[in-house]
Amino acid sequence: MRYDPQKTTVCAGLITAVYKAKDIKTAEAAKVIENIQRDLNIALMNELAIIFHKMGLDTKAVLEAASTKWNFHRYSPGLVGGHCIPVDLRGVGN
């Protein structure tokens, strides 16, 4: 992939804030936490959706009701996993 100044300028305009971590290992560890947290929450929703289905409940309706709480973090059933976590862990371990 070649450097494209025009595309870089366009992409830079989309970024509203950048956090500069203490060092690269801190940044990589932060990515690991974020990816694992997202995967765990989606996996939990997958399991809850199965339970809700067996109970005759509509998962979307349950999530809509739960979303009325101010501090509820909404996750929906979906795909879990991918290449990020193994790659992120390598970055922290090196």
> What amino acid positions are annotated as catalytic residues?
84
Helix, strand, coil fractions of the chain, as percent rounded to 5: 60, 0, 40
> Are 38 and 70 in contact, with CB atoms under 8 Å apart?
no
Tokens of 40: 């765990």
